[in-house]
């Protein structure tokens, strides 16, 4: 008797498999592959992310214990630790990078009207970088310091829904400001950045394409004031000025005027100075936009705590990037399911529920809706009453 699909299979139903096959064909993922397909590899790694597996041996043991259900999970081959390790090391990580990007393109329209703390119709991105420490003797391809290795995760986060729209994985030596060369600025969008990305020549390219940026100024930035706008100091805004750069080379790198907003945080009493090329928004809104940049820090903290991107199942560059991109795919897939099924639970609650229910057959919408289970009470109308 058919009792319904397993929860894992219901979740994977939301994957665009036609797009996945195109990604595999684009990079010849099935070249010299006999049985363990790229989809089997993806499903095994996604299962590891959802159930918090710690190693390849852990994945193998759990899936082999449920070998009679592998077909119903969508896995068509026997899972062996060596086979999965070889697939992670050999198969091109760009298959999963392109597939994650396709999932991002599906998720973003679902969150287009999601509020993020500032009443603004424009798209707002937060750009930042996080470092994942590694062992230099094991991950020699990712040098960071003389005695350390690391990979850097450069992320552009859409603040509506906290969907990562751009991710670049590099070794620890690549400075974060170089990521600005890889971005294609979107006209009319706001890019919120910390002062580590302050490079006026690169920021002028954003200005020329019609994009706006809000970035913290360094203390040694040389400027000359042109105009000052009246401000309400009770809001925390100290000054709102139009400036031009007056350094040795910066006027040639950024010849247009800039706006400088000085803001004193009433909670921490810390004074922050912001530079932007937008002159239409109120000064307080510029400060609130930069405050929203903290969401990308929370995103990094969240994925490090709840996804497997700090301990890796392989040591090669290909294996590390494959694992990170599949982790991103799982995160975005959960975001898609959350919107499609109109689930009110948080990402944390959804992942905790899914981690324990992969082999159950409860309908996914009921499982994530946190409805109390039905208690079947059998009633027999012909039962005699013994006591009155």
Are the CB atoms for 206 and 191 separated by under 8 Å? yes
pLDDT for the residue numbered 382: 59
Residue 384 has pLDDT above 60, yes or no: no
Query: Residue 173 class from Cβ within 10 Å (0-12 exposed, 13-18 middle, 19+ buried)?
Result: exposed
Min mean pLDDT across 49-53, 203-207, 307-311, 330-334 is at 307-311
pLDDT for the residue numbered 1: 39
Distance of alpha carbon 136 from alpha carbon 329, whole angstroms: 27
Residue 377 has pLDDT above 80, yes or no: no
18-27: pLDDT as tens digits: 999 999 999 9
Distance of alpha carbon 27 from alpha carbon 154, whole angstroms: 24
Distance of alpha carbon 290 from alpha carbon 262, whole angstroms: 12
User: pLDDT averaged over the chain?
Assistant: 90
pLDDT for the residue numbered 77: 87
Percent of the chain with pLDDT over 90: 75
Q: What is the fold, at CATH topology level, of the domain defined by 195-291? A: Ribosomal Protein S8; Chain: A, domain 1 (3.30.1370)
63-114: pLDDT as tens digits: 999 888 999 999 988 899 999 999 999 999 999 999 999 999 999 999 998 9
Instruction: Tell me the C-alpha to C-alpha distance, in Å, between residue 75 and each of 14, 79, 214.
Output: 16, 8, 47
pLDDT band at 119 (very low <50, low <70, confident <90, very high): confident
Beta bridge partners of 237: 263
Distance of alpha carbon 42 from alpha carbon 330, whole angstroms: 10
pLDDT for the residue numbered 387: 58
Beta bridge partners of 260: 241, 275
Min mean pLDDT across 1-15, 72-86, 280-294, 297-311 is at 1-15
Whole-prediction pTM:
0.90
pLDDT for the residue numbered 372: 53
Residue 172 has pLDDT above 70, yes or no: yes
Distance of alpha carbon 259 from alpha carbon 203, whole angstroms: 13
Domain boundaries, the chain: 7-95+315-368, 195-291
Distance of alpha carbon 96 from alpha carbon 99, whole angstroms: 5
pLDDT band at 196 (very low <50, low <70, confident <90, very high): very high
- Using the structure block, give the residue that is written with the tokens 């950024």: 254
- Using the structure block, give the residue that is written with the tokens 């042109």: 226
Which of 199, 160, 161 has the alpha carbon at shortest distance from 179?
A: 199
pLDDT for the residue numbered 14: 95
pLDDT band at 308 (very low <50, low <70, confident <90, very high): confident
Secondary structure (3-state) at 34:
coil
Distance of alpha carbon 44 from alpha carbon 97, whole angstroms: 17
Dihedral-angle region of residue 162 (phi above 0 means left; psi in -120 to 50 means alpha; beta otherwise):
left
Q: How many CB atoms lie within 10 A of CB 80?
A: 14
Are the CB atoms for 172 and 150 separated by under 8 Å? yes
Residue 313 has pLDDT above 80, yes or no: yes
Distance of alpha carbon 364 from alpha carbon 370, whole angstroms: 10
pLDDT for the residue numbered 177: 95
Query: Residue 150 class from Cβ within 10 Å (0-12 exposed, 13-18 middle, 19+ buried)?
Result: buried
Are the CB atoms for 60 and 81 separated by under 8 Å? yes
Residue range 115-122: mean pLDDT, rounded:
88
Q: Which residues have a Cβ under 8 Å from the Cβ of 105 and sit 6 or more positions away?
A: none
Are the CB atoms for 5 and 72 separated by under 8 Å? yes
Residue range 18-43: mean pLDDT, rounded:
93
Which of 161, 166, 156, 165 has the alpha carbon at shortest distance from 339?
A: 161
Tokens (6 digits) for 103: 């999932």
């Amino acid at each position: 008797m058919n009792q319904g699909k397993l929860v894992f299979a219901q979740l994977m139903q939301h994957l665009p498999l036609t797009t996945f096959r195109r990604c595999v064909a684009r990079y010849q993922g099935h070249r010299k592959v006999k049985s363990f397909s790229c989809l089997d590899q993806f499903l095994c790694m996604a299962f590891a992310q959802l159930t918090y597996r710690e190693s390849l041996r852990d994945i193998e043991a759990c899936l082999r214990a449920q070998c009679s259900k592998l077909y119903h999970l969508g896995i068509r081959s026997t899972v062996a630790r060596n086979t999965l390790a070889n697939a992670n090391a050999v198969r091109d990580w760009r298959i999963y990078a392109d597939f994650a990007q396709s999932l991002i393109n599906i998720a973003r329209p679902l969150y287009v009207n999601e509020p993020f703390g500032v009443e603004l119709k424009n798209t707002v991105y937060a750009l930042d970088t996080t470092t994942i420490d590694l062992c230099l003797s094991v991950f020699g391809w990712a040098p960071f310091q003389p005695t350390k290795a690391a990979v850097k995760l450069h992320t552009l986060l859409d603040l509506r829904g906290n969907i990562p729209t751009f991710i670049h994985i590099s070794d620890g030596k690549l400075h974060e400001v170089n990521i600005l060369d890889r971005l294609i600025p979107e006209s009319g969008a706001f890019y919120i950045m910390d002062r580590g990305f302050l490079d006026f020549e690169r920021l002028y390219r954003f200005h020329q394409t019609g994009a706006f940026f809000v970035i913290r100024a360094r203390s040694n930035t040389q400027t000359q004031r042109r105009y000052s706008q009246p401000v309400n100091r009770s809001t925390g805004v100290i000054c709102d000025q139009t400036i031009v750069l007056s350094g040795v080379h910066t006027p040639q790198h950024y010849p247009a005027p800039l706006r400088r907003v000085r803001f004193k945080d009433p909670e921490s009493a810390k004074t922050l100075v912001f530079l932007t090329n937008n002159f239409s928004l109120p000064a307080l809104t510029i400060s609130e936009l930069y405050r929203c940049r903290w969401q990308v820090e929370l995103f990094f903290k969240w994925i490090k705590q709840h996804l497997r991107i700090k301990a890796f199942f392989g040591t090669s560059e290909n294996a590390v990037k494959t694992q990170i991109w599949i982790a991103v795919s799982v995160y975005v897939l959960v975001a898609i399911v959350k919107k499609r099924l109109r689930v009110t639970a948080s990402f944390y609650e959804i992942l905790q529920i899914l981690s324990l229910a992969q082999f159950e057959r409860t309908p996914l919408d009921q499982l994530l809706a946190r409805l109390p289970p039905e208690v079947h009470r059998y009633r027999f109308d012909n039962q005699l009453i013994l006591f009155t």
